[in-house]
Amino acid sequence: MNLVVIAAIALGLLLGAATGYVAGRRVVLFVAESASRPSVVRIFGGAAGLVFLAPSGFAAIVVGGNFGAGLGTSVLPDAIGVPLGLAFGTCAVLAVCLLAGSLSGALLGRGVSAFVALPHVS
For residues 92 and 108, the answer to whether their CB atoms sit within 8 Å is no
Which sign does the torsion angle of CA 114, 117, 121, 122 carry?
positive
For the entire predicted model, the pTM comes to 0.89
pLDDT at residue 120 greater than cutoff 80 = no
Percentage of the chain modeled with pLDDT above 90? 66
Percentage of the chain modeled with pLDDT above 70? 95
Mutual orientation of helices 3-33 and 65-75 as an angle, nearest 10°? 120
User: Helix H segments across the chain?
Assistant: 3-33, 38-59, 65-75, 78-116
Give me the pLDDT at residue 116, please: 81
Q: Alpha-carbon distance 94 to 67, whole Å?
A: 13
